[in-house]
Structure formats: structure tokens, C-alpha cells
């Protein structure tokens, strides 16, 4: 049996695009990959503006969305690993998001 050896430098992102359906990543070695947006619920629930606000981290080893508090490794994308966030963690994040959105609109905020 043979083993696939991947050069770590080839797993660096150069650019990304997030649509309503997927995350598309262009790698340093010229490959492009696309994964379904529902794999990453925080991105799925983010606004288009929040999904556009990303930056590469670790020379392109990962992608960070500051508005959504989301980090995704390029190695995880290449391996086909969806988010491992628990349902409880996602529910807490979404509740926090709703409170923040109400505050921005000038409405009273319910305390947990």
C-alpha cells in the first residue's frame, strides 16, 4: 500500500471566495477546491458582508473571519473535514449574535 505525501507548502491558501453555497479556495500550488458552506454553520449564518471579511493566517495555513469568530485550516478543507463545533457551542454563539443584533438596533438586551 502506498501513502500519499503532501508538501505542507502546497497547502497554503492564496485567496478565497465565499458564496451562498460554498467556500472556494485557491491554493499556492494552483489547485482550487470547493466545500459546501453548510459544513461551516457560522459562515452559513453570517451575512455576505461578514463572509467577505476574512484574512489569511499563518502564511495561508488558515482562514480567519473576525466578525464570525471562525477559523478554518486549509489542511482541514483539503482533508474534507467539516466544522467540529458542537451543537451546544453553535447555539450559544447564535444566541450571542441575536443579543448583539438587538443591541445594535437599540432594543433592550435580555441577559442570560
Which residues, at least 6 apart from 85, have a Cβ–Cβ distance to it below 8 Å?
41, 42
- List the domain range (segments joined by +) for residue 98: 8-104
pLDDT greater than 90 at residue 17: yes
CATH, residue 71: 3.30.2020.40
Domain count for the chain, please give it. 1
Per-residue confidence (pLDDT) for residue 10, from 0 to 100:
73
Residue 76 covered by a domain: yes
In a domain, 17, yes or no: yes
- Give yes or no for a contact between 59 and 42, defined as CB atoms under 8 angstroms apart: no
Please, what is the average pLDDT of the chain?
A: 89
Give CA–CA dist 2/58, Å, rounded. Answer: 30
Asked if residue 2 is part of any domain, the answer here is: no
In this prediction, residues 39-58 reach a mean pLDDT of: 96
Residues 23/34, Cβ–Cβ less than 8 Å: yes
Amino acid at each position: 500500500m502506498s501513502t500519499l505525501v503532501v508538501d505542507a507548502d502546497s497547502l497554503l491558501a492564496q485567496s478565497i471566495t465565499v458564496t451562498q453555497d460554498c467556500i472556494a479556495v485557491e491554493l499556492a500550488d494552483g489547485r482550487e477546491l470547493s466545500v459546501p458552506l453548510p459544513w461551516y454553520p457560522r459562515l452559513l449564518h453570517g451575512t455576505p458582508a461578514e463572509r467577505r471579511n476574512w484574512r489569511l493566517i499563518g502564511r495561508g495555513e488558515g482562514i480567519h473571519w473576525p466578525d464570525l469568530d471562525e477559523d478554518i485550516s486549509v489542511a482541514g478543507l483539503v482533508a474534507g473535514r467539516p466544522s467540529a463545533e458542537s451543537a451546544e457551542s453553535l447555539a450559544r454563539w447564535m444566541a450571542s449574535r441575536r443579543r448583539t443584533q438587538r443591541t445594535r438596533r437599540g432594543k433592550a438586551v435580555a441577559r442570560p
